[in-house]
Structure 1
């Protein structure tokens, strides 16, 4: 075992902290740990003094975290981050750690203070980017599972989501709306759910190659209500922060077939009675439907589809959003 420096008395006070504390020399050799560290990790102080601090690595912490830590400590500035280590039992230990360089005379020491993530307030250790990513994937899985009968559905949903993102951001910027980022993310992620109500529609009507009868059309026009019912039943069962805000999703599902002039369905809403998120998705959904081959129609060219949207602004579509959409091409 490597000979190490003795722990200076100036650092002994850190060992009284309630969080797990580990103190090393400049080579990251452990000089001392406190009782909390021993209790949490299961490693006895007498067994690990003189050992490199990284002995509890699990190889599950990403490389970028270690690079960031090394860069900061090389400059002798404090660093904070998330580590995934292993306890003596083999159990994973997720912890938030702050490492502070501490110079006494000519010697450099590092004070590591760990806090188990389970002790933190809910949500603090999950980054917003990660929450957004998980939300997006959860809603994608839900949407695709509801429309699994049609192998072309996934591509349609992904295209609608991508175009919704482009249109909403362009419309926000063009009109200086200063929409909240959280709201915009909700619209983008939830757009993929717009047609989940079709899961309750008979296949014979959904994929009928010819024109629908009046009766069949009435059944199809029920899919926004069916979709909202599916969403509400699911959200009652899942009490989880990632997907607990469903109002935007419900608006998209219920109202994306409403028309600006009030002739849409299922509620014949008119103009700005239709939520913004539904007005955005309405244009994107129609454009993708027109430019895609369906059992009952051939695909249109982009030019023809854009001309249709232009002709129907102020009738089917919000005119300002329609103009923004056309400008994207």
Structure 2
């Protein structure tokens, strides 16, 4: 600010005109000499009273411009200033949105981690199923904001278990029929818990429907086939796979081969056949 001709125009907030001979800034003087520029104009860019920078004009022909031409130059610079200001505002909005999304991500991961701490039986489960669910979703060309909702839904899928009593959730053996009926309420508990959070609504498909089955025998709504949202159909396969291949207090982990055979056997019964197909393609590269 205040350095050479451009800095002076910025400080004084007015249009300045200098000839090649009057130019006092070495780099611009050399440029004018090499390119044959005779005159130089510099206009401060001001929007809403705030200085944004300067616009520089170089002219090869020496002309005596009248007041109308200077008014035009001032108007042109004003339009450039508005455009730059709008671009800055858009950039700030985008940056704020990205910061907000990061905060959402971190909050959701913290909630997921809190559930894993409560239910040691499934420690690490949410992170594992989320990673694989996202990979399969990408194969179905789910991307951008929709993929983010899939990720959030996978991380939060069992949040409803916070409403399940410890004597049922942490029971080290098979549940009784009465206990099982209570456990089956966790998808609706999770949905009711988070549906008041507007930004999470698109992510709640997985929470509510990941225990639905392709043949209509699942819960809580008994949906069938493509009535079940795609994200929940994808997650259902991944959830069962992870449950089978990791140890539980009431049974040892299955081998990957045995678990794969089970997944295939449930294609068209528990699982969407198309999802099973994509799942198998991905698992071939992992096993």
- May I ask how many residue pairs the two structures share in their alignment? 232
1:5 maps to: 4
Q: In structure 2, what is the Cα distance between the partners aligned to 1:21 and 1:123?
A: 17
1:208 maps to: 171
Shift of 1:255: 0.7
1:137 maps to: 106
TM-score normalized by the length of structure 2: 0.70
Q: In structure 2, what is the Cα distance between the partners aligned to 1:184 and 1:163?
A: 12
Is structure 2 residue 159 aligned with structure 1 residue 196? yes
Residues 251-295 of structure 1, C-alpha deviation per residue, up to 9 Å, x if partnerless?
111110011111111111111111111111111111111111122
Q: In structure 2, what is the Cα distance between the partners aligned to 1:249 and 1:225?
A: 14
Residues 171-227 of structure 1, C-alpha deviation per residue, up to 9 Å, x if partnerless?
33xxxxxx4522122112221111001011122212222221110110100111111
1:320 counterpart (263, 270, 274):
274
Q: 1:133 to 1:301 in 2, by over 3 A?
A: farther
1:14 maps to: 44
Q: In structure 1, what is the Cα distance between the partners aligned to 2:44 and 2:255?
A: 70
Identify unmatched segments of 5+ residues in structure 2. 10-15, 18-40, 60-76
Q: 1:22 to 1:219 in 2, by over 3 A?
A: closer
Q: In structure 2, what is the Cα distance between the partners aligned to 1:190 and 1:122?
A: 29
Give secondary structure in 2 for the equivalent of 1:226: helix
1:228 counterpart (191, 195, 203):
191
1:165 maps to: 134
Q: 1:220 to 1:123 in 2, by over 3 A?
A: farther
1:186 maps to: 149
CA RMSD in angstroms comes to: 3.3
Larger radius of gyration: 2
Q: In structure 1, what is the Cα distance between the partners aligned to 2:43 and 2:109?
A: 51
2:23 maps to: none
Give secondary structure in 1 for the equivalent of 2:56: strand
Give secondary structure in 2 for the equivalent of 1:260: coil
Shift of 1:229: 1.3
Q: In structure 1, what is the Cα distance between the partners aligned to 2:56 and 2:91?
A: 31
Q: In structure 2, what is the Cα distance between the partners aligned to 1:194 and 1:322?
A: 20
Q: In structure 2, what is the Cα distance between the partners aligned to 1:216 and 1:324?
A: 35
Tell me if structure 2 keeps the 8 A contact 1:167–1:325: yes
Tell me if structure 1 keeps the 8 A contact 2:213–2:224: yes
Shift of 1:162: 0.3
Give secondary structure in 2 for the equivalent of 1:245: helix
**Structure with more of its chain in strand, by fraction:** 1
Tell me if structure 2 keeps the 8 A contact 1:139–1:189: yes
Q: In structure 1, what is the Cα distance between the partners aligned to 2:280 and 2:222?
A: 25
Q: 1:216 to 1:152 in 2, by over 3 A?
A: closer
Tell me if structure 1 keeps the 8 A contact 2:136–2:279: yes
**Structure with more of its chain in helix, by fraction:** 2
Q: In structure 2, what is the Cα distance between the partners aligned to 1:3 and 1:195?
A: 62
1:311 counterpart (265, 268, 272):
265
TM-score normalized by the length of structure 1: 0.61
Give secondary structure in 2 for the equivalent of 1:14: strand
Shift of 1:128: 6.4
Q: In structure 2, what is the Cα distance between the partners aligned to 1:281 and 1:132?
A: 22
Shift of 1:152: 5.8
